[in-house]
Structure 1
Amino acid sequence: MDFNRTQGLKKDSDFRKVYKHGKSFANRYLVMYILKNKSENSRIGISVSKKVGKAIVRNKVRRRIKESYRLNIDENVKSGYDIVFIARVAIKDANYDEIEKSMKHLIRKSEMYI
């Protein structure tokens, strides 16, 4: 999951570190954790629980979150952060526009826009 300025967050230990030490922001569809990292690039992780639905639904949600980040946020967010998005159960009924709006809201709330 490489974007222009963002790489993927893959290791379980990295996710746990962001959960434990990071700051969280939430709304109806997403929970976002952010933690300053030691590199100049940001890393993004996406977590979609089995509570959201079967694999097809979870993958669709994951793809929508990734695409929304890539198109709207990747270039406009401060670099050097680990960011984890956790999908809430209500997201399975959301369309792409609602997910995009929700993600932008969280980024603004966290004051990470450049």
Structure 2
Amino acid sequence: MVFQKIRKNIEFLNVYRHGKSYANKYLVMYVLSNKLDENRFGITVSKKVGNSVVRHRITRLIRECIRLQESNILTEYDIVIVARKAAKDKKYQDIESAFLNLCKRQNILKR
């Protein structure tokens, strides 16, 4: 199943303003309860991280982490993931461990 995406700027801003955030070296994760029966994900990679090729690669890595771990994440959340500059040249395993670390810190992983 393809995960639901947060697309509108107002939805991103709502998660940024009212959500709880945790960060590590590669990623920042904002989580906000959405009262729906599903999770919605948003991914942000700034131009500061690199050119479009680099940004799209990081986006694909994060999307793959979400796809593989979605069944392990509790539902009813809006989750926005922001890539940091340090994620630029990292392998999938580094991004995945950063993603899982933030999920554990946010307490959104199923037991």
Per the shorter chain, which TM-score range?
A: over 0.9
1:69 to 49, 53, 66: 66
Report how far residue 93 of structure 1 moved.
Answer: 1.7
TM-score, normalised via structure 1 length:
0.94
Partner Cα separation in structure 2 for residue 8 and residue 103 of structure 1: 17
CA shift for structure 1 position 36: 0.1
For 2:36 and 2:97, the matched residues in 1 are separated by: 28
| Match in the other structure for 1:112 | 108
Identify unmatched segments of 5+ residues in structure 2: none
- Determine the C-alpha separation between the residues in 2 that align with 1:63 and 1:27: 19
Query: What per-residue deviation string (whole Å, max 9, x for no partner) do you get for residues 10-55 of structure 1?
Result: 0000000000000001000000000000211110000000000000
The residue type paired with residue 36 of structure 1 is S
CA drift of 1:69 comes to 1.2
Say which SS state the counterpart of residue 58 (structure 2) adopts.
Answer: helix
Q: Which runs of 4+ in 1 moved over 3 A?
A: none
Q: Distance in 2 between matches of 1:82 and 1:29?
A: 20
Superposed, 1:29-108 pairs within 5 Å as 29-71=26-68, 73-108=69-104
What's the offset of the Cα at 1:63?
Answer: 0.3
Task: From 4, 11, 14, give the equivalent of 1:14.
Answer: 11
Q: Give the CA deviation at 1:83.
A: 0.0
Cα RMSD after superposing both structures: 0.9
Unaligned runs of 5+ in 1: none
Give the % identical residues. Answer: 45
* Number of residues of Structure 1 aligned to a counterpart in Structure 2: 110
